[in-house]
Structure formats: C-alpha cells, structure tokens
Chain A
Amino acid sequence: GAGVSQSPSNKVTEKGKDVELRCDPISGHTALYWYRQSLGQGLEFLIYFQGNSAPDKSGLPSDRFSAERTGGSVSTLTIQRTQQEDSAVYLCASSPGFYTGELFFGEGSRLTVL
C-alpha cells in the first residue's frame, strides 16, 4: 500500500492477556516509530527502529512492552499481561531516513483492555 498500514485497527482484550500489534511501514522507509495516545492525552513516544535495531527504547512504559522489527520492514509491538491503563491508540510511523522529523503515521490500532 501507499501508506503506513497497522493491524488490527481495533482490539478488545481482557486484563492479563497478551496482545500483538503490527505495523507495515512505507516501502523503503528505514526508520520506524511507535507512539501511543491515551484518551484525552497527547502522543507519547515509545520506541524507534533504524533498520532492525532499536537505538531508542526510552519510551517503553514497562518491561511488559516489547517490540521487534524484521527484514527492515514489518514491526510488531507486544504487550504482555495487559492492564487497563494500557488502553490507548497505538500509532506507528515511518520515515525515509534517520535525519528527518517528517514522519508518516498510520491510522493506529485502538486497544481496549477490559
């Protein structure tokens, strides 16, 4: 596709379950970012990938959160033992290189933890 693709668009899960969120960046984009946006809150940086490595994981809220990227393309954000406070929209963005703040965001994955 032409843009950043995220799946699922909506996910409802029970507290304590694990969830995986997927991001397909724009083809050829080497940098990939995960952000989250809680209800009524601003966007919060989580992690950044350059290629398959993650030089900056400083925004991950706890060790229940992890992310990986394979083949320099698709990325998966995994949340283990979900809590209600994890409920948010998780946004993925990509950019063609490292030295730019021009990010292309996807539509997000809305996670609801019951």
Chain B
Amino acid sequence: DAKTTQPTSMDCAEGRAANLPCNHSTISGNEYVYWYRQIHSQGPQYIIHGLKNNETNEMASLIITEDRKSSTLILPHATLRDTAVYYCIVRSATDSWGKLQFGAGTQVVVTP
C-alpha cells in the first residue's frame, strides 16, 4: 500500500496562503489522495480528494504532480480557525473505501 510523508509541523501567517506538501512516491494508478484535518478535541473533517487532476472546493485546492508522486494542499487565505493537524492519505485500492490509513499528519499553526 502507498504511504505518505508529511512535515511534522509548519507555521503560517493569518491571511496568507498555506501550502502543505505530501509525498506519496509509491502511489498506484488507481489510488486516490485524500486530505482531512483535525482541530483539537474534534473529529476529523474531510477537506478534499483527487486522483490525477487538480481539484478545488470551497475549503482548499489540491495540486497533484503529473507523476502523482506528490501533492500540495493549498489553503488560500489561512485563518486562526485553520490551526489543526492535516492528514494526507492515500486510499488503498484494495481496501474498503472508508478504511483510511491516517498517519501522523502535519500540525499547522496559523499565527496572527
């Protein structure tokens, strides 16, 4: 199964774009990339997912490299409420769709 590598932590200034990298060099052609976040003491929250093409929704943008070995989650205008642990997940094509393998994630701190 594909695994992901994320930085342990990163800081971002309020109002600026936050760019969260994720490496998934062993990803297979039919495996999706999912992003979730977990604000302290809350359950995880789905953000976005993609397969090959870049994706955008009201929360964020997901940029996937052409070789699919890495991706970047972009929060366009970070706010203090975006402080959370962000998880990049590659969903195994052989697992149940909702069986997600969460790693350690990236602790993002948005500062005023």
Contact = CB atoms under 8 A, between A and B. Distances in A.
A91 B44 contact: yes
B98 A43 contact: no
Contacts of B44: 43, 91, 93, 103, 105
Contacts, number: 61
Contacts of A93: 43-44, 98
Nearest to A43: B102
Interface of B: 32, 34, 41-46, 49, 87, 89, 91, 95-105
Interface string A66-98: 000000000000000000000000010101001
Interface in A21-64: 31, 33, 42-45, 48, 55-56, 59
Given A42-B104, A101-B49, A108 B97 contact: no
Interface residues of A, number: 25
Given A91-B44, A108-B43, A103 B100 contact: yes
Interface of A: 4, 31, 33, 42-45, 48, 55-56, 59, 91, 93, 95, 98-108
A104 B46 CA distance: 7
Contacts of A104: 46
A67 to B, nearest CB: 14
Contacts of B89: 101
Given A42-B105, A101-B32, A101-B49, A48 B43 contact: no
